[in-house]
A and B are shown apart, each in its own frame.
Chain A
């Protein structure tokens, strides 16, 4: 390799844009040729001088852009909802009503309790509205995964309701423990059953549907727990409203605890198994 060839490749060598065999030839030449070595040394010192020209540090522009896009998306989502044709809104309502009807069938049918038609109608309407809003939110990019995860979790919990509804749990516990309602053991079992009932679906949904960065689980889990509890509220109401407060309180406490722990656990699993790159 001549000096002329070597000088023509020094910049490529500096930026690691040479093949391995070329690098070996260039390095061998530089070890032998003082003039080329001096040119190489000058080039490296030029590169070091360029490195000393530093750029300004990040200034929170990413956060400002995210806030700007969030406002814009919210406006776009409102415009999108306004622009939805009547038949789209009807489709959301019908889907919500179908989901609410199925949920009522599973929860009320599984509880073996007598419900007044008015009460069932009011709860059904509320559920329709909640499912409908969650359905609309799945079309908003910012809330898409959260809404999907909450809907999946609520759907699973409704499927679980016939097998693990509160009255059924209490009846089973009573028979098993033969204890009074105020028994500490009975309350503990009810809390645990409530926690299990609420945590299992949201754990599974959080683990499968959500996407979070490694170590960033906590602030993603709490909104999921909140949305899930909202969708679950009619089910909990239907299971509890005919029972005394002393029985209802431990079940509700268990559901709250289970929702938080289940969502945190599920999102933590998602962050560990399928983390969004940092």
Chain B
């Protein structure tokens, strides 16, 4: 049993210290998850808080023999979906500001080179990906989940996870090769 699974088992038993450890361990990764899947920055902290509260509320449903990571990111995905539904009802595009300025066609590299830093360009390129591919990429590249864990988190077959990741990397490779700003030499 890994450390997260041990901590979660203690949390289910009412251990407050274990809860504190677990939340502190996952605050950074959850922030990174919501930030990269395309939530507007002003909502990221609220969404992380939502996951943490739901993690505590559903502590008795967690099976310690199952891996913790897919379970918590399953919660994170549901929290994000709920947030998007609410945002849609309020006619606010949750990824609107993230996509602001993102070209619908291949941009002029010369203009992009002048306008954008590389990290910003990467951010815009990732957020241009379809949602299902973006989720897989974020979970694999930044959150460090294995293919199997991603399949369990999203409830899709392993082959689907691989295909989405491969296609996402192919698209990013094409977009970034064209639009990535070059670093000044010397």
Q: Which residues of A contact B (CB under 8 A)?
A: 8, 11-12, 15, 17, 42-43, 46-47, 49-50, 52-59, 61-62, 64-66, 68-69, 141-142, 144-145, 211-213, 216, 220, 276-278
A62 nearest CB neighbor, chain B only: B23
Determine if B7 and A276 form an interchain contact, defined as CB atoms under 8 angstroms apart. yes
How many angstroms from the CA of A213 to the CA of B23 in the assembled complex? 14
Determine if A62 and B20 form an interchain contact, defined as CB atoms under 8 angstroms apart. yes
Contacts A49-B180, A142-B16: A62 and B146 contacting too (C-beta < 8 A)?
Answer: no
How many angstroms from the CA of A27 to the CA of B176 in the assembled complex? 25
How many angstroms from the CA of A12 to the CA of B26 in the assembled complex? 26
Chain A: minimal CB distance from B58 (Å): 13
Contact pick for B32, options A17, A55, A277, CB 8 Å: A55
Q: Which residues of B contact A (CB under 8 A)?
A: 3-4, 6-7, 10, 14-21, 23-24, 26-28, 31-32, 35-36, 41, 44-45, 48-49, 52-53, 56, 118-119, 122-123, 126, 140-142, 146-147, 162, 165-166, 169, 172-173, 176-177, 180
Determine if A62 and B24 form an interchain contact, defined as CB atoms under 8 angstroms apart. yes
Contact pick for B31, options A8, A58, A66, CB 8 Å: A58
Q: Which residues of B contact A42 (CB under 8 A)?
A: 173, 177
Q: Which residues of B contact A12 (CB under 8 A)?
A: 162
Determine if B141 and A47 form an interchain contact, defined as CB atoms under 8 angstroms apart. yes
Sampled A-B contacts (30; CB under 8 Å): A11-B166, A12-B162, A17-B147, A42-B177, A43-B173, A50-B122, A50-B142, A52-B119, A55-B28, A55-B31, A55-B32, A55-B35, A58-B28, A58-B31, A59-B31, A61-B31, A61-B48, A62-B52, A65-B49, A65-B52, A65-B56, A66-B23, A68-B53, A69-B19, A213-B17, A276-B6, A276-B17, A277-B3, A277-B7, A278-B3
Report whether over half of chain B's contact residues are helix, strand or loop; otherwise say mixed: helix
Q: Which residues of B contact A211 (CB under 8 A)?
A: 10, 15, 17-18
Determine if B16 and A141 form an interchain contact, defined as CB atoms under 8 angstroms apart. yes
How many angstroms from the CA of A65 to the CA of B19 in the assembled complex? 10
How many angstroms from the CA of A68 to the CA of B48 in the assembled complex? 14
Determine if B122 and A53 form an interchain contact, defined as CB atoms under 8 angstroms apart. yes
Contact pick for B126, options A53, A64, A141, CB 8 Å: A53
Q: Which residues of B contact A68 (CB under 8 A)?
A: 49, 53
How many angstroms from the CA of A12 to the CA of B172 in the assembled complex? 16
Contact pick for B15, options A52, A54, A59, A276, CB 8 Å: A276
Q: Which residues of B contact A213 (CB under 8 A)?
A: 17, 21
Q: Which residues of A contact B173 (CB under 8 A)?
A: 42-43, 46
Determine if A276 and B45 form an interchain contact, defined as CB atoms under 8 angstroms apart. no
For the complex with contacts A50-B172, A66-B20, 14 further pairs of A-B residues with Cβ separation under 8 Å are A11-B165, A17-B162, A52-B122, A53-B36, A53-B122, A53-B123, A55-B36, A55-B142, A65-B56, A68-B53, A141-B14, A144-B15, A145-B14, A212-B17
Determine if B17 and A65 form an interchain contact, defined as CB atoms under 8 angstroms apart. no
How many angstroms from the CA of A144 to the CA of B36 in the assembled complex? 38
Determine if A144 and B169 form an interchain contact, defined as CB atoms under 8 angstroms apart. no
Q: Which residues of A contact B20 (CB under 8 A)?
A: 62, 66
Chain A: minimal CB distance from B48 (Å): 5
Determine if A220 and B17 form an interchain contact, defined as CB atoms under 8 angstroms apart. yes
Determine if B3 and A62 form an interchain contact, defined as CB atoms under 8 angstroms apart. no
Contacts A47-B141, A49-B122, A49-B180: A61 and B45 contacting too (C-beta < 8 A)?
Answer: yes
Q: Which residues of B contact A66 (CB under 8 A)?
A: 16, 19-20, 23
